[in-house]
Amino acid sequence: MPLLKEIEKQLKGVRSLKDIVHSMRSLAAVNLYKTEKVLQSIRQYRLMIQGGLGLANYLLPAPGPEREGRSALPTAYLIFTSDQGLSGSFNEKIIDFVQQYESPSVEILYMVSGIRGRDLLQERKINVFLHTSAPSSIDGIKKAMRDLSDTLYLYYSEGRFGSLILFYNVYASVGRFTPMAFSVLPLDITQFKRDKSLPTQPHLYLTPEELLPLLLEEYLFIELYRALAESLASENGSRLKSMDSAGKNIDKKIEELLQLYRISRQEEITSEMLEIISGAEALTARRRGH
């Protein structure tokens, strides 16, 4: 009987864990669905902005890399990770990628979005210059964007760093993502090519000189937004896969416990029957003795 009670206790605990895993899986699935829809729009809008910059570069061939006086300044690494765990190798992969990307000849300022990434860097004896919380949903990206862009603009204008590289996981599908590095500052407008399908002299409501700063501002905005959205999609896709795997392991454990419970219960019943038979035989023998 004590063994059966212990098995029942374990079953109750494992089933409670299954409920938690199911809830986390459902939340990850909802967040992933919403983020996938937003990502499609972000990627298309990003191409439009790049096309606008290519056109501005065509109309204003003079602007080049904004590097004057910044080559001696540190390089800022902005790394996008998560606040929440149970997301497989999501955080470890991007941190490993960053460390492989490092150059010993460059002074680096590490900036991290996400508690998990900050903790991983600190475990590896790397100082974190700036840390912010990572958004856990599409709605949270708006606030994160505002805080990040304001802080980065301030530090860049103060000369805290001379260049900025974004590190984030690019979402492919559930459980599949690719770490990437993308340099956003200083911006070299000459990298953008004009879309030759556009007219040579497009109709503009602003002069090219007025249009270019607005396009640059929008470009930096969309690159930050994209990094946050790609990272969030990758995180939830990885968590969804992890929860699926955990759910299968829990189901297997429940089946093992049920099988053990059935065997133990059968042994207990058999033992009880043997005791009854032995008692009956002893009573019969006693009566015959009389």
Q: What pTM, to 2 d.p., does this model score?
A: 0.79
Q: Is residue 15 part of a domain?
A: no
Q: What is the pLDDT of residues 120-138, one digit of tens each?
A: 999 999 999 999 999 988 8
Instruction: Using the predicted structure, report yes or no on whether residue 118 has a pLDDT greater than 60.
Output: yes
Question: What was the pLDDT predicted at 181?
Answer: 95
Q: Is residue 246 part of a domain?
A: no
Question: What was the pLDDT predicted at 69?
Answer: 57
Q: Which residues contact 221 (CB under 8 A, 6 or more apart)?
A: 145, 149
Instruction: Using the predicted structure, report yes or no on whether residue 156 has a pLDDT greater than 80.
Output: yes
In this structure, of 97-106, 115-124, 240-249, the range with the lowest mean pLDDT score is 97-106
Q: What is the pLDDT of residues 44-95, one digit of tens each?
A: 888 888 777 777 666 665 544 454 556 788 999 999 999 988 888 999 999 9
Question: What was the pLDDT predicted at 81?
Answer: 96
Q: Is residue 172 part of a domain?
A: yes
**Which amino acid is it at 278?**
S
Q: What is the DSSP letter of 189?
A: G
Question: What was the pLDDT predicted at 150?
Answer: 83
Question: What was the pLDDT predicted at 188?
Answer: 73
Please give the full DSSP string across 193-231, using - where no structure is assigned: PP-TTS-SS---SS-HHHHHHHHHHHHHHHHHHHHHHHH
Count of beta carbons in the 10 Å neighbourhood of residue 274: 10
Q: What is the pLDDT of residues 273-282, one digit of tens each?
A: 777 777 666 6
Alpha-carbon distance values, 84 to 126, 156, 254 (Å): 21, 29, 27
Question: What was the pLDDT predicted at 94?
Answer: 96
Q: Is residue 155 part of a domain?
A: yes
Q: Provide the percentage of residues in the chain whose pLDDT is more than 70.
A: 82
Please give the full DSSP string across 120-152, using - where no structure is assigned: HHHHTT---SEEEPPPSSHHHHHHHHHHHHHHH
Average pLDDT, the chain: 83
Rounded CA separation 195/192 (Å): 9
**For the chain, what is the radius of gyration of the CA atoms?**
30
Query: How many domains does the chain contain in total?
Result: 1
State the CATH number of the domain containing residue 115: 3.40.1380.10
Question: What was the pLDDT predicted at 249?
Answer: 92
Q: Is residue 264 part of a domain?
A: no
In this structure, of 31-35, 58-62, 190-194, 239-243, the range with the lowest mean pLDDT score is 58-62
Q: Is residue 290 part of a domain?
A: no
Q: Is residue 19 part of a domain?
A: no
Instruction: Using the predicted structure, report yes or no on whether residue 112 has a pLDDT greater than 60.
Output: yes
Average the pLDDT over 192-202 and give the result.
58
Instruction: Using the predicted structure, report yes or no on whether residue 145 has a pLDDT greater than 70.
Output: yes
Question: What was the pLDDT predicted at 57?
Answer: 66
Pick 273 or 289 by higher pLDDT. Answer: 273
Query: Residue 132's domain spans which residues?
Result: 25-240
Strands (E), the chain: 75-80, 108-113, 130-132, 163-173, 176-185
